[in-house]
């Protein structure tokens, strides 16, 4: 890797090789600050006839070249580096970085002694490193040993993370798990000439026995225990080892990656790892609780920082292209159609979904197709979020001292960390959210899927470039941060949603909003109603306007301070403004068809999410 001096870098080229599309961005330094110049994209080319990821990279970079006027590729289709700008002739880049989830990303199996303790910690470490966890093996997972062995043999993961036992704790159970892996004699998914990497991150006293059991059969790597004591997780050593092995084994085996690895100036990062990096940075910088989502073609990754704890889940089979059929199969047709305000033929719909699965790079041409695709996205997000809530928990198995007051509290060991009422910011990324023709559509998708409670800021990745900025932040934090705040993060506005169950025709909350230039909006938010108020950007600072909000929820409704408690606060605007959601929490659209259609149209109109005339034409058709 070449030595990088941040002060010498004026031009940055970054790519993300997704499962479906390869995206390239060009960043340049002008007047002392880094800004995004252009973006290009092309289909990812891991499949035949190319079977070489660099072809997709070159195609995406060629588009950036054409749009920016900067020559980036030489006659031999190699990236020109460093820059050689002379007068009008601009060519080359000072640094090239890339992320990747093409070729299925990093697919792992994890194993531990107790499912809800060491095995879950191992799962957290693998997910944290950006892996798809194919299965979790544990002594108590209710499968018979030969079934577990069969599963390991059949899945062919890229690597296995083996944990178990606190330091000084059980040896026997850990070795038992190692024996299962040994018995399975697992082969890696890619490449037949090398041994499968297995990381051991369990009880340090069991290391010798694990070495004896597995040493000859696999490429065994030993790192510090993931759970040295019951009350503490130590995920970093395992995560770093996963990254190293990913580069050495998985990337090196995927079609064309050897070449790409030589081109990049820093190691290629798995896409979820890079996006997580950026989400964490936002939470740290602003000292807020953040929930983020990246909905891709094959997977949907959810990230959260609650109580300072970062969690990530990768829902391997929930996505908008390769996995779209799976979303449909898991969510079921009625659940998808509850977000669509017109009828569609079921047989035709199912064929459309399958066609998107087999031809994943297509885009919706008609409004009908767009609304249907966004309805599927809502279900993919909802399902991925359920998985995340179940996973992002406080450590299980830890004894807690409880007071009398706690006895009335239902929280216990293993309770979820996700608290939508304390959540400050909800951030969306991924094609369907970043490329929605109207930003209000992104806001509506996130509100319907995640159902934020109380007061929540909404933001979206402008053009889906968080992965590239994530990897860039590792080598040039200034450039990554500047582009992120100025060009990447689009503030959509704020959603205000009182929590409680609604009754038709009843009010939920009185509101008074003091908008800029002395304008005041006040009134009552009624059950089932959605309202939107414009609150855009200050043209001097280019920051979202703020408004003073006085919120007086009715008895039984909570906006953050407790049921019926009045709240005075400052809320932040954005391209979609302030959204008041009076549909209650939790909320589901009506099962009565006509009422549901009327409601959907009303909400879509309130947010100006779709052109009303087209929408009505589709409903009447």
Partner 1 sequence: MAHSYTPGLKVTDKMMITKKRILPLKGDVVVKVGDKVQPDDVVARTDLPGNVEPINVANILGVPPEDVGDCMLKKEGDKIEKNEVIALNKSFFGLFKTEAKAKISGSIESISSVTGQVLLRGHPIPVEVKAYISGEVVETFENEGCAISTIGSFIQGIFGVGGETHGSIKVVVPNNKTVLEDSHIDESCKDCVVVGGSMATAGAIKKAVEMGAKGIIAGGISDKDLREFLGYDIGVAITGSEELGVSLVITEGFGEINMADRTFNLLKSKEGLMACINGATQIRAGVIRPEAIVPLDEKMDDKAKSGEEVISGLEVGSPIRVIRQPYFGMIGKVSDLPPALQKLESESKARVLEVEFTEGEKAIIPRANVELIEG
| 602: contact with partner 1 by CB under 8 A | no
For residue 347, what are the contacts with CB-CB under 8 A and spacing of at least 6?
A: none
Please say whether the beta carbons of 528 and 611 come within 8 A: no
In degrees to the nearest 10, what's the CA dihedral of 281, 532, 451, 18?
Answer: -50
Spatial distance between the Cα atoms of 456 and 447, rounded to a whole number of angstroms: 10
**Which residue's structure tokens are 């092995």?**
245
Question: Alpha helix (H) ranges present in 69-117?
Answer: none
By CB under 8 A, name the one of 137, 235, 275, 370 that touches partner 1: 370
Please say whether the beta carbons of 417 and 309 come within 8 A: yes
| 68: contact with partner 1 by CB under 8 A | no
Residue 10 tokens, joined: 């004026």
Binding map of partner 1 across residues 17-46, x = CB under 8 A, - = no contact: --x----------------------xx--x
Q: How many residues bind partner 1 (CB under 8 A)?
A: 68
| 215: contact with partner 1 by CB under 8 A | no
Spatial distance between the Cα atoms of 318 and 293, rounded to a whole number of angstroms: 12
Q: Which residue's CB is nearer to partner 1, number 32 or number 193? A: 193
Q: Which residue's CB is nearer to partner 1, number 187 or number 593? A: 187
Please say whether the beta carbons of 464 and 54 come within 8 A: no
According to DSSP, residue 486 is labeled I
- Binding positions for partner 1, 289-308, rule CB under 8 A: 298
According to DSSP, residue 104 is labeled G
By CB under 8 A, name the one of 175, 495, 578, 607 that touches partner 1: 175
Question: Residue 267: which H helix or E strand, with range?
Answer: none
Q: Which residue's CB is nearer to partner 1, number 329 or number 398? A: 329
Spatial distance between the Cα atoms of 84 and 93, rounded to a whole number of angstroms: 8
Residue 199 tokens, joined: 């990381």
| 353: contact with partner 1 by CB under 8 A | yes
Q: Which residue's CB is nearer to partner 1, number 42 or number 578? A: 42
Closest approach of partner 1 to the CB of residue 445, in Å: 15
Residue 531 tokens, joined: 């309202």
By CB under 8 A, name the one of 8, 185, 231, 286 that touches partner 1: 185
Closest approach of partner 1 to the CB of residue 217, in Å: 10
By CB under 8 A, name the one of 90, 207, 438, 478 that touches partner 1: 438
Closest approach of partner 1 to the CB of residue 88, in Å: 21
Query: Is the torsion defined by CA of 29, 31, 35, 41 positive or negative?
Result: negative
Closest approach of partner 1 to the CB of residue 321, in Å: 9
Spatial distance between the Cα atoms of 198 and 222, rounded to a whole number of angstroms: 8
By CB under 8 A, name the one of 125, 171, 423, 443 that touches partner 1: 171
**Which residue's structure tokens are 């005075």?**
568
According to DSSP, residue 256 is labeled T
Spatial distance between the Cα atoms of 23 and 321, rounded to a whole number of angstroms: 16
By CB under 8 A, name the one of 9, 134, 149, 260 that touches partner 1: 149
In degrees to the nearest 10, what's the CA dihedral of 200, 204, 210, 215?
Answer: 70
Distance of CA 324 to the CA centre of its chain: 16
Q: Which residue's CB is nearer to partner 1, number 182 or number 451? A: 182
Instruction: Give the helix, strand, coil percentages of the chain, each rounded to 5.
Output: 35, 25, 35
| 226: contact with partner 1 by CB under 8 A | no
**With CB under 8 A as the contact rule, which of the stretches 146-154, 448-456, 505-513, 537-545 interacts with partner 1?**
146-154
Nearest to 522 by CA among 511, 531, 533, 509: 511
| 526: contact with partner 1 by CB under 8 A | no
Nearest to 95 by CA among 157, 195, 224, 8: 8
| 362: contact with partner 1 by CB under 8 A | yes
Residue 383 tokens, joined: 């399902």
By CB under 8 A, name the one of 81, 121, 271, 317 that touches partner 1: 317
| 469: contact with partner 1 by CB under 8 A | no
| 534: contact with partner 1 by CB under 8 A | no
Q: Which residue's CB is nearer to partner 1, number 361 or number 524? A: 361
By CB under 8 A, name the one of 10, 115, 143, 176 that touches partner 1: 176
Q: Parallel, antiparallel, or unpaired: how do β-strands 197-200 and 159-162 relate?
A: parallel
Residue 370 tokens, joined: 């767009």
Closest approach of partner 1 to the CB of residue 7, in Å: 36
By CB under 8 A, name the one of 2, 32, 86, 192 that touches partner 1: 192
| 141: contact with partner 1 by CB under 8 A | no
| 437: contact with partner 1 by CB under 8 A | yes
Three-state secondary structure call for residue 25: strand
Query: Is the torsion defined by CA of 43, 46, 48, 52 positive or negative?
Result: positive
Q: Which residue's CB is nearer to partner 1, number 331 or number 567? A: 331
| 106: contact with partner 1 by CB under 8 A | no
Q: Which residue's CB is nearer to partner 1, number 93 or number 317? A: 317
- Binding positions for partner 1, 234-263, rule CB under 8 A: none
Spatial distance between the Cα atoms of 616 and 142, rounded to a whole number of angstroms: 53
Please say whether the beta carbons of 44 and 255 come within 8 A: no
Closest approach of partner 1 to the CB of residue 129, in Å: 20
What are the strands, taking DSSP E only, across 7-166? 11-17, 21-30, 33-43, 95-100, 106-112, 131-138, 159-162
**With CB under 8 A as the contact rule, which of the stretches 185-193, 494-502, 517-525, 540-548 interacts with partner 1?**
185-193
| 539: contact with partner 1 by CB under 8 A | no
By CB under 8 A, name the one of 3, 31, 348, 620 that touches partner 1: 348
**With CB under 8 A as the contact rule, which of the stretches 319-327, 378-386, 444-452, 534-542 interacts with partner 1?**
319-327
| 184: contact with partner 1 by CB under 8 A | yes
Q: Which residue's CB is nearer to partner 1, number 47 or number 534? A: 47
| 363: contact with partner 1 by CB under 8 A | yes
Q: Which residues bind partner 1 (CB under 8 A)?
A: 19, 42-43, 46-50, 59, 62-63, 66, 102-104, 145-146, 149-150, 171-172, 175-176, 179-180, 182-185, 187, 192, 209, 213, 298, 317, 322-323, 325-326, 329-330, 347-348, 350-367, 369-370, 435, 437-438, 611, 614
């Amino acid at each position: 890797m070449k030595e990088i001096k941040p002060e010498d870098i004026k031009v940055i080229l970054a790519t993300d090789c997704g499962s479906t599309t390869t995206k390239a961005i060009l960043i340049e330094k002008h007047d002392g600050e880094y800004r995004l110049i252009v973006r290009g994209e092309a289909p990812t080319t891991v499949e035949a006839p190319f079977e070489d990821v660099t072809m997709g990279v070159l195609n995406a970079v060629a588009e950036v070249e054409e749009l920016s006027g900067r020559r980036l590729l030489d006659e031999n289709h190699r990236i020109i580096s460093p820059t050689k700008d002379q007068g009008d002739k601009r060519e080359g880049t000072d640094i090239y970085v890339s992320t990747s989830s093409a070729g299925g990303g990093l697919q792992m199996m994890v194993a531990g002694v107790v499912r809800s303790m060491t095995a879950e910690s191992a799962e957290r470490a693998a997910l944290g490193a950006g892996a798809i966890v194919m299965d979790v093996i544990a002594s108590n997972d209710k499968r018979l040993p030969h079934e577990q062995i069969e599963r390991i043999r059949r899945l062919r993961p890229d690597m296995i993370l083996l944990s178990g036992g606190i330091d000084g704790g059980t040896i026997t159970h850990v070795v038992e798990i190692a024996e299962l892996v040994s018995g399975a004699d697992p082969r890696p998914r890619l490449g037949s000439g090398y041994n499968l990497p297995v990381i051991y991150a369990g009880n340090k006293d069991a290391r010798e026995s694990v070495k004896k059991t597995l040493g000859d059969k696999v490429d065994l790597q030993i790192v510090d225990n993931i759970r040295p004591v019951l009350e503490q997780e130590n995920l970093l050593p395992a995560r770093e080892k996963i990254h190293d092995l990913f580069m050495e084994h998985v990337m090196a085996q995927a079609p064309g990656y050897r070449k790409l690895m030589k081109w990049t100036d820093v190691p290629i990062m798995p896409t979820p790892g890079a996006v997580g990096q950026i989400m964490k940075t936002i939470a740290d910088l602003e000292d807020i609780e953040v929930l983020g989502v990246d909905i891709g073609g094959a997977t949907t990754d959810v990230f959260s920082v609650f109580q300072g704890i970062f969690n990530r889940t990768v829902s391997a089979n929930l996505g908008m292209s390769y996995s779209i059929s799976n979303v449909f199969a898991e969510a079921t047709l009625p659940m998808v159609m509850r977000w669509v305000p017109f009828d569609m033929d079921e047989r035709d719909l199912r064929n459309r979904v399958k066609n998107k699965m087999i031809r994943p790079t297509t885009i919706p041409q008609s409004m009908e197709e767009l609304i249907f695709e966004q309805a599927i996205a809502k279900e993919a997000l909802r399902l991925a979020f359920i998985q995340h809530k179940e996973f992002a928990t406080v450590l299980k198995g830890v004894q807690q001292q409880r007071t009398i007051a706690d006895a009335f509290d239902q929280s216990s060991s293993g309770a979820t960390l996700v608290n939508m009422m304390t959540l400050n910011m909800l951030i969306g990324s991924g094609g369907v959210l970043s490329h929605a023709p109207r930003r209000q559509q992104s806001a509506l998708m996130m509100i319907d899927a995640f159902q934020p409670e109380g007061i929540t800021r909404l933001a979206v990745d402008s053009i889906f470039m968080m992965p590239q900025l994530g990897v860039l932040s590792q080598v040039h934090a200034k450039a990554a941060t500047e582009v992120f705040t100025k060009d990447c993060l689009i503030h959509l506005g704020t959603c205000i949603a009182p929590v409680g169950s609604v009754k038709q025709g009843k009010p939920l909350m009185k509101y008074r909003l003091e908008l800029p230039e002395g304008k005041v909006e006040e009134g009552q938010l009624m059950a089932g109603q959605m309202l939107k108020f414009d609150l855009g950007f200050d043209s001097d600072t280019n920051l979202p306007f703020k408004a003073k909000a006085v919120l007086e929820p009715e008895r039984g409704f909570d906006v953050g301070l407790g049921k019926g408690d009045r709240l005075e606060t400052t809320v932040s605007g954005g391209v979609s403004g302030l959204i008041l959601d009076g549909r209650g929490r939790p909320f589901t659209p009506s099962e009565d068809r006509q009422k549901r259609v009327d409601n959907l149209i009303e909400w879509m109109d309130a947010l100006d999410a779709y052109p009303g005339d087209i929408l009505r034409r589709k409903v009447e058709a």
